[in-house]
Structure 1
């Protein structure tokens, strides 16, 4: 059995959405959490009806490949002080069967394990097993790097990533000779990022009205469309969305779209751009979801 990965991630507050403070330190024993447990109360005999409360969880993003571009999936992880470690472990587990059926895959080789993560001054150094470098051509090599970088940089104090394999810094990755002598970021993998990257909702999410949709986009004049369809393809809602930037510069978006359903069912959230040339749909992304009233 492989040893548990080392990490110097400090305590981060629990929450439902990605984005936690994870400043780190040089490699050392795990940092003591910033918060301490409350003093134990006097013992109380539980009533026969009492049941244990569920363990606290938080939602994080993990990033796979769909249509040869980065795509988002959601995972529930324990509300631990080391969310980046939990997120990478979830990434290495790969897409679910439902996500695979929707076209998601991973470029990360099976058997890759996490040795540890150190986060300091905006830089995450991730140490993976040597399996991470095995197999695949140039697209596969770039895609697996992008998956890790996107997953780590969802946390606001991680801006860049360095890679190690079995404790050794990587300067040239794989037989394709990909240079990793400098830290990399999401911008490094812009060519692998869809014009409209919807980070919420994700494939298979259960949603109810109003829908909160967020992500990044690099589209003409920063403008695109989102519509919500029911299982029969009928439009439940439509909204024009304007990102913070576009036309060659990736921006962010976060919009609330009102809609209602009367009963549970399946549906699709569709994001697309209208071509400036002929008005046709381009850069379309379809996200299957489940509705709850």
Structure 2
């Protein structure tokens, strides 16, 4: 007795059954649960989002924090010529795909990005969980803080038409005055919108939509984006390189700015304390409208080691340097 394998196409009824079975399997594999995301296409825009190209994940996950130092763990990266864009995938041999992104802490009273690595396909939720973990020891030693109450948990993230609905535990709105409340909202919004697939955020607390946040009654009756927190963004926001990164010449620096006549300066200081680059940079807009900048800066360091990137602009009144942010780096010769 022999078995014959037919090369003929399946009947119409059989093909339809196969399609329905495949659709059911796909639907079951993408069902949302606690800490997961779904994504749908759509169009939206929000000024102040990172402009550099990148691939952003749209499905949730976890990320560790740890007390890392430059060159270890999830904090630092290497920036030479073409650094990480909003979210850059890497694939360790034989392991799950890793995505380098950013979480936003506070430097003074302004948001400031710090690098994290999350596991695909759960990238946005992973980044938000890393944000809730707070700054690591190295970042705290360089004055990075958080306004988010300790113990805040992420319940879920759902992404639909470029809007992320972020459900957090009730601990998120505990305590704090108006500035603290605004800052913790901004931290979540900037972290989520680092991914190109997310333009705005809708907040929920323990599954209930938030229309007024905290005792200050901050109105959240519609999704919010980066432009809604302009007061909490430095006039020059360097998106890359980030705190703890290692740079080599030439280094690509990109971000957003809202300075007088769109002019700013980016000073690189090496381990010897010597200024090795200090170019003028022009953003796409300024003087009340946030624009973007993306430049490649050559430099010649005298010594490798701990250095600094200082973003500032010259006052039109007296020419003094108005420092907007400082980014601690490892500067290579």
* TM-score normalized with structure 1 length: 0.83
Which sections of structure 2, spanning at least 5 residues, go unmatched?
Answer: 1-32, 41-51, 62-92
Shift of 1:257: 0.3
Give the Cα–Cα distance (whole angstroms) in 2 for the partners of residues 221 and 242 of structure 1.
8
Shift of 1:220: 0.5
Give the Cα–Cα distance (whole angstroms) in 2 for the partners of residues 5 and 83 of structure 1.
11
**CA RMSD, aligned part only?**
2.3
| Higher fraction of strand | 1
In the alignment, is the contact (CA less than 8 A) between 1:198 and 1:216 conserved in 2? Answer: yes
Relative contact order higher in (CA < 8 Å, ≥ 6 apart)? 2
Candidates 201, 210, 214, aligned match of 1:161: 201
Is 1:89 aligned to 2:89, yes or no?
A: no
Shift of 1:20: 2.9
Distance 1:87 1:282, change over 3 A: same
- 1:1-293 superposed matches below 5 A: 5-9=35-39, 19-21=54-56, 53=94, 55-78=96-119, 80-261=120-301, 264-293=304-333
Q: What SS class does the counterpart of residue 72 from structure 1 fall into?
A: strand
Distance 1:160 1:284, change over 3 A: closer
In the alignment, is the contact (CA less than 8 A) between 2:39 and 2:160 conserved in 1? Answer: no
Q: What SS class does the counterpart of residue 279 from structure 2 fall into?
A: strand
Give the Cα–Cα distance (whole angstroms) in 1 for the partners of residues 231 and 186 of structure 2.
10
* 1:56-87 Cα distance to aligned partner (Å, 9 max, x none): 42210110111111111111222x11211111
Give the Cα–Cα distance (whole angstroms) in 2 for the partners of residues 151 and 64 of structure 1.
9
* 1:11-68 Cα distance to aligned partner (Å, 9 max, x none): xxxxxx98435568xxxx99xxxxxxxxxxxxxxxxxxxxx75654221011011111
Structure 1 residue ranges, 4+ long, deviating more than 6 angstroms after superposition = none
Give the Cα–Cα distance (whole angstroms) in 2 for the partners of residues 121 and 64 of structure 1.
26
Shift of 1:239: 1.2
* TM-score normalized with structure 2 length: 0.73
Give the Cα–Cα distance (whole angstroms) in 2 for the partners of residues 115 and 251 of structure 1.
34
Which sections of structure 1, spanning at least 5 residues, go unmatched?
Answer: 11-16, 31-51
2:43 aligned partner: none
Give the Cα–Cα distance (whole angstroms) in 2 for the partners of residues 192 and 182 of structure 1.
19
Q: What SS class does the counterpart of residue 190 from structure 1 fall into?
A: helix
